[in-house]
Amino acid sequence: MKSLNIGLIGYGFMGRTHSNGYKRVNDFFPELKHRPVLKAVCGRNAEKVQAFADQWQYESIETDWKSLIARDDIDAVDICTPNNSHAEIAIAAAAAGKMILCEKPLALTPEEGVRMCEAVEKAGVANTVWYNYRRVPAVTLAKQLIDEGKLGTIYHYRANFLQDWTINEDLPQGGEALWRLDAAAAGSGVTGDLLAHCIDTAIWLNGSIKDVSAMTETFVKERMHNETGKKEKVTIDDACAFMCHFENGSLGLFESTRYARGHKALYTLEINGRDASIRWDLHDLHRLQYFDNSDEGRLKGWRSIHVSDHSGDQPYMDKWWVPGLQIGYEHTFVHQVADFISSLESGEAMHPSFRDALETQQVCEAVLDSAKERAWKNV
Amino acid sequence: MKSLNIGLIGYGFMGRTHSNGYKRVNDFFPELKHRPVLKAVCGRNAEKVQAFADQWQYESIETDWKSLIARDDIDAVDICTPNNSHAEIAIAAAAAGKMILCEKPLALTPEEGVRMCEAVEKAGVANTVWYNYRRVPAVTLAKQLIDEGKLGTIYHYRANFLQDWTINEDLPQGGEALWRLDAAAAGSGVTGDLLAHCIDTAIWLNGSIKDVSAMTETFVKERMHNETGKKEKVTIDDACAFMCHFENGSLGLFESTRYARGHKALYTLEINGRDASIRWDLHDLHRLQYFDNSDEGRLKGWRSIHVSDHSGDQPYMDKWWVPGLQIGYEHTFVHQVADFISSLESGEAMHPSFRDALETQQVCEAVLDSAKERAWKNV
Amino acid sequence: MKSLNIGLIGYGFMGRTHSNGYKRVNDFFPELKHRPVLKAVCGRNAEKVQAFADQWQYESIETDWKSLIARDDIDAVDICTPNNSHAEIAIAAAAAGKMILCEKPLALTPEEGVRMCEAVEKAGVANTVWYNYRRVPAVTLAKQLIDEGKLGTIYHYRANFLQDWTINEDLPQGGEALWRLDAAAAGSGVTGDLLAHCIDTAIWLNGSIKDVSAMTETFVKERMHNETGKKEKVTIDDACAFMCHFENGSLGLFESTRYARGHKALYTLEINGRDASIRWDLHDLHRLQYFDNSDEGRLKGWRSIHVSDHSGDQPYMDKWWVPGLQIGYEHTFVHQVADFISSLESGEAMHPSFRDALETQQVCEAVLDSAKERAWKNV
Amino acid sequence: MKSLNIGLIGYGFMGRTHSNGYKRVNDFFPELKHRPVLKAVCGRNAEKVQAFADQWQYESIETDWKSLIARDDIDAVDICTPNNSHAEIAIAAAAAGKMILCEKPLALTPEEGVRMCEAVEKAGVANTVWYNYRRVPAVTLAKQLIDEGKLGTIYHYRANFLQDWTINEDLPQGGEALWRLDAAAAGSGVTGDLLAHCIDTAIWLNGSIKDVSAMTETFVKERMHNETGKKEKVTIDDACAFMCHFENGSLGLFESTRYARGHKALYTLEINGRDASIRWDLHDLHRLQYFDNSDEGRLKGWRSIHVSDHSGDQPYMDKWWVPGLQIGYEHTFVHQVADFISSLESGEAMHPSFRDALETQQVCEAVLDSAKERAWKNV
């Protein structure tokens, strides 16, 4: 068993999900020949980062990401910082010859993204972006069905990502906890945070997007800012919807909001093909809804496939428990770590790569531009 | 178009459902050569029965069922009175040569039931009992699937009929409105009212029941009686559950109650076979859940068949609307009227007949005996 | 009981649903003082219209709608013809002093609609358009909740109407059966046929729409035409999606298609408010999903309200059966007839009126224009 | 941080779930002052047990459980062996002063169970049995609601545990992989394997069971035995159903089978109280269905509470992710480890203890006796 020494930068929510992925992967993927080692975690606040290191058993801490990148005992850098620092860190890490696992969205802008892609490609370092929902077993199964042609010609793709956590006007913006509400740190609101997931999955499942027409809205116009201590204009999009055409001729409809009372993380997608349709929903992530038009007429109906069934080769599920017993959200990160290590061992390309994530970034940019200009935009 | 002259005895809830069946059948079943004519409705309270006749457009009223039966212009007698009068009326109607459509349960006891069967068979009159749930399209579809062998060997049959309308202790018993809470009028509580439906469907779908072990409970021991004006002992079963063996070797589990908070008329059934399973539920009566083990492994799942789909020959559905549009509870009675008339025209036997309903009565009796004696009982 | 003499023009699918409404209304709404009488049905093919009259018990037939309108014994004219004849018939009927019940959409264009409104208002005749989904009990309940303010500020409105019946390229267009696929008869495709329903409900529930950005698609470009016998260009929209702003500041997202494999008539709507959200779905039309943010934190969840519950005043449900037993699609038309007669008797305005339907027509026009010009359009 | 040295005996499916519990607990429960250390794993096959130790990072192996128990560096013994060895190992471990975490069911018979209880109580060692479903967050929430009296008087309790994995007659019995099909090793079939879970939860939620009437069935009478290499009589129960009375006056209905085609591990429970009802289902384990009769009449309905909501204090959920993101089956074991360590630290009693599990064993025994004798049995 070889070591894969991890240096984690940032230790918020995503720092936890990634750390869990590294710690669990070898228990469940015994065929892997590398074991991730939690070598160092980096953050500006030494006390807090030490507490995180203690809890998660990181061997050491750093308070400056440049020091982390400079260490010889780090093989892979995992970037979990706010979006506005991804580019600088990633480009430096690539220059230092580190593998990079970067949180999504890739960057603030496509321009940054291009530079990041060029950096990792020039350095020849392994790279991936944590669009983890590709590795929900039911979503991976959807990918298989589409690639096998079971859906036939695709007519429609629709996806939502609905939350309700920012309805309260008293919620402040900015700072360590709420940087996602500040465009300076996040780049955008729901577009980069939520729709980026939907777009990544859509491109993966249904191919490239050609053009978009979007609208955005900021329902709460001002919020107290944690850094200035004053009410400041809210600069992010609270909600965003867009229509689009895919290259394959199908129509797309996407919506995201943090003002959909009653939904916490309702990422749903539906794809209608000539021969079959599928639906999926993150709140009940173990089920894939499937309608197969080749079923006998009298008995056609949407099938609720519980991917724990084990009657066939449901993706990833043989690694876990026995039939009927489900896994959860965090397992998508374990899967991504497993596939990342597999790709190192096999030499096959890892996806989503920085290059894949750049395409999503370009769609996000077109969406934001379209909303601003109230006009269709080509991607 | 010939007339089929109907004489209705009793004009409560069931009087309405049957009348609706008679009035609508020719609009939707144009192939029938008989049209039901609402000739007379009978009840003891002349004022109330006249109001009912006016609302539903009955041509005349009677206040004594014997007069109704004596009329030459009545072809078929429909018995919607409390259970304790079914036998007397039916036997007299048979003797008068009338066709009989009798509400369920057939009788108070199997002994009464036997005499009723002998009466109609001796008279050679058409007869049926309103176990209407056989004619929910999704249930009829279940019957087709079972008869075609799609389920294979049956291992398990389970059915519930759950209500919650008698939880309130202040609800009185007896009288015109609440005779179902008085064993003198109803014979039993949930056993004859609700489980009888479950048993009728079960025998139809899965064959005869061999033996039973049951328990009953009366949660509210005393209720004000509408006839005496005093608190009286409650004589019915509020809840009843039983286990059984079917002749085909499968196991049955049945439960009914009026104390299942949150359920109004939740009649559910599930049948597990070697090759496929089905589920159905009256609250969403248009869906049949179907699991087919011959589906591809990776894609096995419960199908939610919406019988309005029209992609095949869903039973009865071609008579109604276009795909996706559903019918409701009352349509089961329209279907039963249509099938009754069809049977008259074709000469084929109508089911459920009195004889069919007698078997259900015998199971009910065994259930009540078993509960009383705390012992298994053969049917 | 007074008579309300009905003259029906057109006897297709909608001719059946309306006829059923007229025939059943007094059985279930005994408080009404008028009884619809099926005086005459009109169609160009005498043989077919006579068969319809026989089945549904119309007293007479006409083969020219002008003759029908000229008859003194007709009180109300019901227009069920293809959309391109609504205006001419309605304007003539108004001039003849007839009440008018017109199928949706009101007209081919807003211009026609304006003339129709002016005609009925000038003549002072009762008028309504059959946007029947307002009268699904669960949808009416949604209206009550919104009007009572239970949802608070509305942020989002989304609606779909998904079908799959035109995927087959071999399906022809035009003629009596398939005029809905020919823009000359129908005006548009899914926009006027399906989205018009969604828009009518949306305006009723959430107020006026300010501007729209739409896209349409015609997946099958040519179909055999039943009138020419040749392959002709398909002139309708097979699919249409649009984004919009409501006057109240909320965002709308609408989609309709006949290429959503697996859906037959999946009209769904969801409304997210500050304090509560609701969802509804035509395939399970008896349920209203309701999320109330004032529920205790630990116990917040979407409630599946089965409107048959009878624990409160669920709209219309007291007219039908006992708790737990559901009604279906066709009942919406019975409700509309009942409310139309009530409005005659009370003198209160009937909705949706021609004027209400005109607003929907204007939104449809803006949607089609927006799609054509790929630009936002004000309504 | 203190160590809690674990010695695991048996390394099958449950060995994996427990090991995962030990390894993850401190990452998510940082308040604990003990860290489980995977000191040793024990099994008879040295090669296989070493492979397990390597995969899960156990420090050492043993091939004789007596050696394991004799080691000074083991604080707690975890028993994951077939049921017929629980008693001997547990009694010896107690005598050696070890804490004991024992897989369910506790023992083969109540007699064995009594001796085990006496042993741990005499030795004064911490003990628990892995009835893990108590610690599904939704089930723990159900317990809170019941204890707070939200359901009021309980009328009905019903539970199922349905699987379909033994339908194939070619499946053998016995040996390491299939000891669950051999009564010599397992004690019973579905009664001890599946119903024991249902009974444990039921007693925890609804109190003691007074008497039972049961039936069992063995559908496949003979199977090849892995130890003899020959077809042998099947000695376990393939299916078991029972009715019961709880001490609190409510009625219970339980069923378990491995012949319910389409269900993998469908553990469902429903409890009907005077004031509220709850439902839960292992296949969608994150949802608690809740009907509260104090909701406004018009708006009563079953609430689907997704315990990830985080709007209140959903049990255990604050330890994991953000709203909307779910955990899975394996987390129940992490919770049990956390609670076990907490109980060590606080001195509060841990449940379920051996004594708690003994009561479940006694109900199982009464169930099996009742089925054999076809008679009601007191517990």
Q: What is the mean pLDDT of residues B109-128?
A: 98
State percent of chain C over pLDDT 70.
100
Alpha-carbon distance of B130 to B197, in angstroms, equals 10
Is the bond preceding A82 in cis, omega lying within 30 degrees of 0?
no
Alpha-carbon distance of A216 to A233, in angstroms, equals 16
Closest alpha carbon within chain D to C301: D305
Residue whose token pair is 């990792």:
A120
- The pLDDT value recorded for residue C241 is 98
- The pLDDT value recorded for residue D269 is 98
Is the bond preceding A172 in cis, omega lying within 30 degrees of 0?
no
Alpha-carbon distance of C249 to A218, in angstroms, equals 11
Query: How many angstroms away from the CA of B186 is the closest CA of chain C?
Result: 18
Overall size of chain C counted in residues: 379
Give the per-residue SS3 of chain A: CEEEEEEEECCCHHHHHHHHHHHHHHHHCCCCCEEEEEEEEECCCHHHHHHHHHHHCCCEEECCHHHHHHCCCCCEEEECCCHHHHHHHHHHHHHCCCEEEECCCCCCCHHHHHHHHHHHHHHCCCEEECCHHHHCHHHHHHHHHHHCCCCCCEEEEEEEEECCCCCCCCCCEEHHHHHHHCHHHHCCCHHHHHHHHHHHHHHHHHCCEEEEEEEEECCCCEEEECCCCCEEECCCCCEEEEEEEECCCCEEEEEEECCCCCCCCEEEEEEEECCEEEEEEHHHCCEEEEEECCCCHHHCCEEEEEHHHCCCCCCCHHHCCCCCCCCCCCHHHHHHHHHHHHHHHHCCCCCCCHHHHHHHHHHHHHHHHHHHHCECEEC
Interface mutation vs chain D, best among A13, A161, A264, most D CBs within 10 Å? A264
Structure tokens at D124: 């004064």
C272 contacts chain A (CB < 8 A): yes
Chain centroid to CA D257: 17
Question: Is pLDDT at B203 greater than 90 in this prediction?
Answer: yes
Q: Mind listing the pLDDT tens digit for each residue in C189-222?
A: 999 999 999 999 999 999 999 999 999 999 999 9
Number of Cβ within 10 Å of residue A45's Cβ equals 12
Span between the terminal Cα atoms of chain D, in Å: 45
Q: Mind listing the pLDDT tens digit for each residue in D97-132?
A: 999 999 999 999 999 999 999 999 999 999 999 999
Number of Cβ within 10 Å of residue D153's Cβ equals 15
Question: Is pLDDT at D161 greater than 80 in this prediction?
Answer: yes
Q: Which of A288, A301, A314 sits opposite B303 (nearest CB)?
A: A301
Alpha-carbon distance of A32 to A99, in angstroms, equals 18
- The pLDDT value recorded for residue B310 is 80
Confidence of residue C177 (pLDDT cuts 50, 70, 90): confident
Question: Is pLDDT at A312 greater than 80 in this prediction?
Answer: no
CATH class label, B133-378: alpha beta
Cβ contacts of A311 on chain B, cutoff 8 Å: 297-298, 300
- The pLDDT value recorded for residue C313 is 85
Alpha-carbon distance of A87 to A111, in angstroms, equals 10
Q: Mind listing the pLDDT tens digit for each residue in B69-114?
A: 999 999 999 999 999 999 999 999 999 999 999 999 999 999 999 9
Question: Is pLDDT at D311 greater than 90 in this prediction?
Answer: no
Q: Mind listing the pLDDT tens digit for each residue in A91-132?
A: 999 999 999 999 999 999 999 999 999 999 999 999 999 999
Cβ contacts of D300 on chain B, cutoff 8 Å: 262
Q: What is the mean pLDDT of residues A50-68?
A: 98
> Is D257 in contact with D193 (CB distance < 8 Å)?
no
Instruction: Pick the more confident residue, B312 or A299.
Output: A299
Looking at chain A, which residues constitute the CATH 3.40.50.720 domain(s)?
Answer: 2-132
Q: What is the mean pLDDT of residues D368-377?
A: 98
- The pLDDT value recorded for residue A314 is 92
Interface mutation vs chain D, best among A27, A258, A316, A326, most D CBs within 10 Å? A326
The residues facing A233 across adjacent strands are A222
Q: Do C300 and D305 touch (CB under 8 A)?
A: yes
How far is the CA of A7 from the CAs of A37, A76, A101, A290, in angstroms?
A: 9, 6, 10, 41
Looking at chain B, which residues constitute the CATH 3.40.50.720 domain(s)?
Answer: 2-131
ipTM: 0.97
- The pLDDT value recorded for residue C176 is 85
Q: What is the mean pLDDT of residues A174-193?
A: 93
In b/e form, how buried is each residue of C205-223, taking b as 16+ CB within 10 angstroms?
bbbebbbbbbbbbebbeeb
State percent of chain A over pLDDT 90.
98
- The pLDDT value recorded for residue D268 is 98
Q: Mind listing the pLDDT tens digit for each residue in B64-80?
A: 999 999 999 999 999 99
Q: What is the CATH number of domain A134-378?
A: 3.30.360.10
Contacts of C310 (CB under 8 A, 6+ apart): B264, C317, C318, C322, C323
Question: Is pLDDT at A354 greater than 90 in this prediction?
Answer: yes
Cβ contacts of A295 on chain B, cutoff 8 Å: 303
Looking at chain B, which residues constitute the CATH 3.30.360.10 domain(s)?
Answer: 133-378
- The pLDDT value recorded for residue C183 is 93
Q: Do A274 and C155 touch (CB under 8 A)?
A: no
Confidence of residue B177 (pLDDT cuts 50, 70, 90): confident
Collapsed DSSP state (helix, strand, coil) of residue B281: strand
| Residue type (1 letter), A123 | A
C292 contacts chain D (CB < 8 A): yes
Average pLDDT along chain C:
97
Alpha-carbon distance of B58 to B78, in angstroms, equals 13
Confidence of residue A247 (pLDDT cuts 50, 70, 90): very high
Question: Is pLDDT at C38 greater than 90 in this prediction?
Answer: yes
Collapsed DSSP state (helix, strand, coil) of residue B109: coil
CATH class label, B2-131: alpha beta
Span between the terminal Cα atoms of chain C, in Å: 45
Q: Which of B290, B297, B299 sits opposite A299 (nearest CB)?
A: B290
Q: Mind listing the pLDDT tens digit for each residue in D5-57?
A: 999 999 999 999 999 999 999 999 999 999 999 999 999 999 999 999 999 99
- The pLDDT value recorded for residue D228 is 94
Q: What is the mean pLDDT of residues B216-241?
A: 97
Cβ contacts of B151 on chain A, cutoff 8 Å: none
Question: Burial of B55 by CB count in 10 Å (0-12 exposed, 13-18 middle, 19+ buried)?
Answer: middle
Closest alpha carbon within chain D to C296: D312
Question: Is pLDDT at B202 greater than 80 in this prediction?
Answer: yes
D143 contacts chain C (CB < 8 A): no
How far is the CA of D78 from the CAs of A306, B221, D5, D16, in angstroms?
A: 32, 50, 11, 12
Question: Is pLDDT at A74 greater than 90 in this prediction?
Answer: yes
Please give the CATH topology (third level) of the domain spanning A2-132. Rossmann fold (3.40.50)
Q: What is the mean pLDDT of residues B6-22?
A: 97
E-state strands within C149-250: 154-162, 209-217, 222-224, 231-233, 239-246
| Residue type (1 letter), B74 | I
Interface mutation vs chain B, best among A280, A303, A307, most B CBs within 10 Å? A303
Element (H, E) at B267: strand B266-273
Alpha-carbon distance of A110 to D237, in angstroms, equals 64
Q: What is the mean pLDDT of residues C144-165?
A: 98
Average pLDDT along chain D:
97
Alpha-carbon distance of A362 to A358, in angstroms, equals 6
> Is B348 in contact with B179 (CB distance < 8 Å)?
no
State percent of chain D over pLDDT 90.
98
Work out whether strand B209-217 and strand B377-378 pair parallel, antiparallel, or are unpaired. Answer: antiparallel
In b/e form, how buried is each residue of C29-55, taking b as 16+ CB within 10 angstroms?
beebebebbbbbbbbeeeeebbebbeb
Number of Cβ within 10 Å of residue C300's Cβ equals 23
Confidence of residue D158 (pLDDT cuts 50, 70, 90): very high
- The pLDDT value recorded for residue C310 is 80
Q: What is the mean pLDDT of residues A178-185?
A: 93
Q: What is the mean pLDDT of residues A316-338?
A: 97
Alpha-carbon distance of D273 to D279, in angstroms, equals 11
Q: Quick one: which of A276, A376, A283, A288 has its CA closest to A328?
A: A283
A and D: number of Cβ contacts within 8 A: 106
Q: Which of C144, C303, C314 sits opposite D303 (nearest CB)?
A: C303
Confidence of residue B325 (pLDDT cuts 50, 70, 90): very high
Confidence of residue D272 (pLDDT cuts 50, 70, 90): very high
Q: Do D300 and C305 touch (CB under 8 A)?
A: yes
Q: Do C323 and B27 touch (CB under 8 A)?
A: no
Q: What is the mean pLDDT of residues D316-326?
A: 96
Question: Is pLDDT at C311 greater than 80 in this prediction?
Answer: no
- The pLDDT value recorded for residue D261 is 98
Question: Burial of C228 by CB count in 10 Å (0-12 exposed, 13-18 middle, 19+ buried)?
Answer: exposed
- The pLDDT value recorded for residue A177 is 84
Alpha-carbon distance of B163 to A139, in angstroms, equals 39
